């Protein structure tokens, strides 16, 4: 241990790191760090019985890796975690230890001893997705029975533009231009007021929206939208009674309407009156529910099946072409073959 280090407990170091992240990182990044560091702090305090980050060594990091891989965590004991989850956990610990080096809590080069596992293509890609064909019936139902509602506005924006949850939350009333001949939305990186974009300034962009989507948003703003100002004096586009819509509220919007029984019959043989997935806190456990990210992936697949060039999709969704191919485009081999055939023909 270096004599230049300043004593600090693992939990206090974690809190400083999360505080530093809060203004700069996107919501999903903050939550990922908060979640993975919960496991690391548990290991430090309960397994290693470490009271001072100054005492952390490279051998400890190896021991943590082995413990975490085997599922040695109070929220997942005795169940080996997936390689992708382990890689994500170790990457967060690496970033955390780099921060700890900057505040003189550990040796400055300790983070370099976090060995990140190599992942195969299959390990890197999530299997969770929704078929693009499932989305239009949901939007048709919302148009008919929930027109201009908050849920309708959220679904229309995400499906039409492929915007991330963080980008959706970042939209203010002034970022949405509905009365122009060219209706559009502006995605702006505002880290100092609670709505950073995932790719920061590089994530800023202007996206056109259709007249139909502009009408839905306009009717939502003029109708059920709750007039609210957030804690930074900004006027969010999508609001709840508490203010700017939360990330969890956006997720619930997608869980609610991807349950098949919301618009049709249940394919799982459940009675909606007694189904255990009907309560709001259980919606995500329904086998058919999907996340906003899954719908974003379906948007990419639909664009590509419609022969929209990769570069156009990349710019609209603010994701590199390589990332689109690896993580977002969920087309089957036959669908991809059909795309090539239509182009060649």
Note whether 162 and 245 are same-domain residues: yes
Q: Give me 317's structure tokens.
A: 């969704």
Number of domains in the chain: 3
pTM: 0.72
DSSP secondary structure letters along 158-210: HHHH---HHHHHH-BGGGEE-SSSS-EEEE--BGGGTB--TTGGGG-EEEE--
Residue 141 placed within a domain? no
Nearest-angstrom CA–CA distance, 92 and 90: 5
Q: Which CATH number belongs to the domain containing residue 275 in this structure?
A: 3.90.15
Note whether 265 and 196 are same-domain residues: yes
Note whether 304 and 288 are same-domain residues: no
Note whether 199 and 182 are same-domain residues: yes
Model confidence over 118-147: pLDDT tens digits? Answer: 755 444 444 567 889 999 999 999 999 999
CB burial class (10 A; 0-12, 13-18, 19+) of residue 338? middle
Model confidence over 29-44: pLDDT tens digits? Answer: 888 899 999 999 999 9
Note whether 286 and 152 are same-domain residues: yes
pLDDT at 288 over 60: yes
Note whether 320 and 200 are same-domain residues: no
Note whether 28 and 94 are same-domain residues: yes
Q: Which CATH number belongs to the domain containing residue 72 in this structure?
A: 1.10.150.130
End-to-end CA distance of the chain: 68
The pLDDT score that the predictor gives to residue 123 is 45
Q: Which domain covers residue 336, as residue numbers?
A: 295-344
Model confidence over 210-220: pLDDT tens digits? Answer: 999 999 999 99
Residue 140 placed within a domain? no
Residue 59 placed within a domain? yes
Note whether 252 and 319 are same-domain residues: no
Q: How many CB atoms lie within 10 A of CB 139?
A: 16
Residue 134 placed within a domain? no
Note whether 184 and 162 are same-domain residues: yes
Lowest mean pLDDT among 34-48, 122-136, 233-247, 249-263: 122-136
């Amino acid at each position: 241990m270096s004599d230049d280090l300043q004593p600090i407990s693992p939990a206090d170091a974690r809190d400083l790191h999360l505080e530093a992240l809060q203004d700069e990182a996107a919501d999903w990044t903050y939550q990922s760090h908060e979640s993975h560091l919960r496991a690391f702090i548990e290991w430090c305090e309960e397994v290693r019985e470490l009271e001072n980050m100054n005492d952390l060594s490279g051998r400890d990091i190896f021991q943590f890796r082995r413990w975490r891989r085997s599922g040695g965590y109070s929220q997942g004991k005795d169940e080996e975690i997936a390689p992708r989850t382990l890689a994500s956990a170790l990457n967060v610990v690496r970033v955390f230890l780099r921060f700890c080096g900057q505040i003189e809590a550990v040796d400055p080069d300790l983070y370099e001893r976090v060995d990140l596992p190599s992942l195969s293509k299959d390990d890197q890609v999530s299997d969770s997705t929704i078929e693009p064909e499932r989305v239009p019936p949901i939007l048709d139902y919302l148009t008919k029975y929930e027109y201009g509602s908050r849920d309708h506005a959220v679904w229309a924006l995400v499906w039409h533009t492929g915007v991330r949850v963080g980008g959706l939350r970042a939209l203010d009333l002034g970022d949405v231009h509905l009365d122009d001949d060219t209706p559009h939305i502006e995605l702006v990186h505002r880290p100092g007021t609670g709505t950073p974009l995932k790719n920061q300034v590089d994530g800023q962009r202007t996206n056109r929206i259709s007249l139909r989507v502009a009408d839905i948003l306009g009717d939502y703003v003029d109708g059920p939208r709750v007039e609210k100002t957030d804690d930074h004096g900004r006027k969010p586009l999508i609001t709840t009674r508490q203010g700017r819509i939360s990330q969890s509220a956006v997720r619930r919007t997608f869980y609610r309407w991807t349950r098949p029984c919301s618009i049709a019959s249940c394919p799982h043989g459940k009675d909606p009156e007694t189904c255990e997935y009907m309560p709001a806190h259980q919606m995500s456990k329904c086998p058919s529910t999907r996340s906003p990210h899954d719908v974003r992936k379906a948007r990419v697949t639909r664009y590509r099946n419609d022969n929209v060039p990769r570069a156009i999709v990349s710019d609209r969704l603010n994701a590199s072409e390589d990332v689109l191919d690896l993580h977002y485009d969920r087309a089957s081999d036959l669908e991809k073959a059909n795309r090539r055939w239509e182009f060649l023909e």
